[in-house]
Structure 1
Amino acid sequence: MRRWRALLLAATVALAPGLPATAQQAMINAGAWSAYKAKFLDPTGRIVDNGNGNISHSEGQGYGLLLAYLAASPADFEQIWYFTRTELLLRDDGLAVWKWDPNVKPHVTDTNNATDGDMLIAYALALAGTAWKREDYILAASRMAQALLAETVGSSQGRTLLMPGTEGFTGSDRDDGPVVNPSYWIYEAIPVMSALAPSDAWQKLSDDGVELLKTMQFGPRKLPAEWVSLHDKPRPAEGFDAEFGYNAIRIPLYLARGGITDNALLIRLQKGMSQDGVPATIDLTTGRPKAVLSDPGYRIVNDVVACVVDGTRLPNSALQFAPALYYPSTLQLLGLAYIGEKHPECL
């Protein structure tokens, strides 16, 4: 029975929009993946966030799994998955704890989840399980997708929302709740979640995420905040800096990778988040940049938008991969993989 369920799920996932219809090809070249592994993957299978105290988190494990899949590296995928399932999948609901800290014992002190990390993990498992005929990966992905649907996909004022975690963000938890993070919507993964845990809520989640982005035009630069209260009219959430922050930088990349090529939205985000053409974190109240982000991994987000909108070729700097920090290095590989697969004319 278990095997038949896995086979049925694999067939359903394979038909999800956006998945390749042919056998997998590596979308990340071997040299770039080797450099990424050497910098961020330790022998236990954890992805090290070297810009954040060398912690690991569910987001990083999810990114690592997705990149290993895109690099067509089953052995590395299994190594990352081993750490993920043994060290992070500790919750009773099937979701991962969000943070693992090598500097403290026990290594897990906060058992809340981070929904984007869970979705990345489930998405990568589904892709790898389908491509490599691993029934165990597909069943694990299905369990996580079902938990995401049950625990983190909610509704408020007619909108379907993705709660950032199971605790701390609802109207019951906060006076200004619900609070969402628009950078947690991983649009490319949502059709796969729908295949794994069928529900009409997934499509509405995707549609409402895009519509919310269109309404989140805060401050002189008309950008979304990293944390947004949806208690009534969308506004920056209380207790957080009113900023377009590091996480928000990836929103245009997520839109493009998810096949959402609304040029007006992409151009507004690109223009608002840039200082002299370079991505920056932005103080939403004043419109002033807080930190200009010159790493090629941040800059590739604007390069992807330029390619999608008007066919601009990527600059040579975007094609050179020399990883320094975990987060921008991850964005760079995701950007390069997307351009290589969907827009090779921009290379």
Structure 2
Amino acid sequence: MSLSIFDRKRILVTGGAGFLGSHLCERLLNDGHDVICVDNFFTGTKDNILHLMDNPNFEVMRHDITFPLYVEVEEIYNLACPASPFHYQHDPVQTTKTSVHGAINMLGLAKRVGAKIFQASTSEVYGDPEVHPQTENYTGSVNPIGPRACYDEGKRCAETLFFDYNRQYNLDIRVARIFNTYGPRMHPNDGRVVSNFIVQALKGEPITIYGDGSQTRSFCYCDDLIEAFVRMMDAPSGITGPINMGNPAELTIRGLAEVVIEMTGSKSALEIHPLPMDDPMQRCPDITKAKTELAWEPSTSLEDGLRKTIAYFAEIVC
């Protein structure tokens, strides 16, 4: 799409070379905007954005948002942070810094230039929930000293900062709580359940299940989630969130493994391992707020989304 100079926005995407960030950059460029992709390439990769490099409206900066950044933009999408337990527990102090110092730096930038700013928060703020499905007014059940706390509490603190900047400085904020999302460009070794299962199935390796597999998750395809991001950013200024974004269709982990084995034609067996500490037993969003305020709900079926994701991994691991 080609926009006039008056309609084209200058948009910053932190974590723009990551799984979701790269899809967001692609969407914003297709909508005709100028996009600055910022990434320190800890979990992001240039492979995710190579196809965007020739676009004259696309710019890439290697930068860690725990340090200040000075650019002139109108919108900021703050997606920078390792999102899988394998990666965020690798350096938990840096994970907390990315969530907290990164939020402070991006909020400071937004305040300085008068930009609208979006925070990619997470369903992990609910911890191991005692309410099911989770609504936005549920305050969560989180272990602040456990191995997942660097991510869970880091994201909770980031939300606090966003709403304090909104109250204290009248900053235009948007906070989205992202539930399990999957699709092409996921890191093959990130330890997340969809990528794990697909890679193991394609290689004919045992499918690793933690616990008895009865724990539930809900899985949203990446294109649906990016649509929700854009709708929230384009919504009126009163729509601050937090808003749950995910697919309310619930599935057990064992059920997902069986679907992946069937769709890949794999002969992989299931291999049971102990459940990690603080791993939630249930995770499913109530998306009433997203439906009401954004007129959004996911439209991609699990089978269609998995088919596209399996095709992607088949090219890079086989």
Q: Same fold (TM over 0.5)?
A: no
Q: Whose RCO is larger (CA < 8 A, sep 6+)?
A: 2
Bigger proportion of residues as helix: 1
Give the TM-score normalised by structure 1. Answer: 0.30
Give the TM-score normalised by structure 2. Answer: 0.32
Bigger proportion of residues as strand: 2
